[in-house]
A and B are shown apart, each in its own frame.
Chain A
Amino acid sequence: NAGVTQTPKFQVLKTGQSMTLQCAQDMNHEYMSWYRQDPGMGLRLIHYSVGAGITDQGEVPNGYNVSRSTTEDFPLRLLSAAPSQTSVYFCASSTRLAFFPDTQYFGPGTRLTVL
């Protein structure tokens, strides 16, 4: 049982490049989410999904796309990287209890630098 896995651990991009951050969980969790963590600001929700084929925006969705074709995977795509997207990205997942997402379990994070 690997929990929530994220790849890559580190990534350096040039402005304008695109890339996909991978996230997978093996706990059969319905709810998955992406956050970014910037210094002194805590975590902010980018996008979330409540099941395969269902995604929605969080607090800071601009510049990011997501899709959820399977229960296990929830990739985050940066369409055209900008220096403002330099951050640490966390993926998380949880079960849902009576439609509410339960306690989230986090992946190890991806540290992204955009030059």
Chain B
Amino acid sequence: AQKITQTQPGMFVQEKEAVTLDCTYDTSDQSYGLFWYKQPSSGEMIFLIYQGSYDEQNATEGRYSLNFQKARKSANLVISASQLGDSAMYFCAMRGPVYNFNKFYFGSGTKLNVKP
């Protein structure tokens, strides 16, 4: 099975500073998709950003960017200028490779706390 690893169970960041949330993945395939989701304390899952394995440019969506290093199999989420509302759980996920592309795999998450 594919594996997603998020090694930071919890992180603190000062408001207005940037923070990087780590995600590594394990696959032998060349074609896959990587996603980040935010889960606030209210419980809903909110899509943040997507990176395809063949995309040459790192994905960006507003204050979110994805630092994609294919050779290292890492897809770190960078949040610039943190806000108090960014306090939440963050999940990295991967859509499976070509032979398994209907399946998604999630990491265990990182709990981010933004301090005022």
- Give A residues with C-beta under 8 Å from B: 31, 33, 35, 40-45, 48, 50, 56, 58-59, 88, 90, 92, 99-101, 103-106, 108-109
**Stretch among B13-21, B65-73, B79-87, B95-103 lining the A interface:** B95-103
A101 to B33, CA, bound (A): 10
Chain B residues with CB under 8 Å of chain A are 1, 4, 6, 9, 33, 35, 37, 43-45, 47, 50, 91, 93, 95, 101-109
Q: Chain A residues with Cβ under 8 A from B103's Cβ?
A: 45, 48, 58-59
Contacts A45-B104, A56-B102: A103 and B43 contacting too (C-beta < 8 A)? no
Q: Give the residues in chain A near B109, CB-CB below 8 Å.
A: 42
Shortest C-beta distance, B62 to chain A (Å), equals 16
Question: CB-nearest residue of chain A relative to B93?
Answer: A43
Is there an interface contact between A109 and B101, defined as CB atoms closer than 8 Å?
Answer: no
Do A104 and B44 contact each other (CB < 8 Å), given the known contacts A42-B91, A43-B91, A59-B1? no
Contact A100 B91 (CB under 8 A): no
Other-chain residue from A42, A48, A92, A109 in contact with B102 (beta carbon distance below 8 A)? A48
Q: List 16 A-B contacts (CB under 8 A).
A: A33-B104, A41-B108, A42-B6, A42-B106, A42-B108, A43-B93, A56-B102, A59-B103, A92-B45, A99-B101, A101-B95, A104-B35, A104-B47, A108-B43, A109-B43, A109-B44
Please name all residues of chain B whose beta carbon is closer than 8 Å to the beta carbon of A103 when the two chains form the complex: 35, 47, 50
- Residues of chain B lying within 8 A (CB to CB) of residue A43: 45, 91, 93, 104, 106
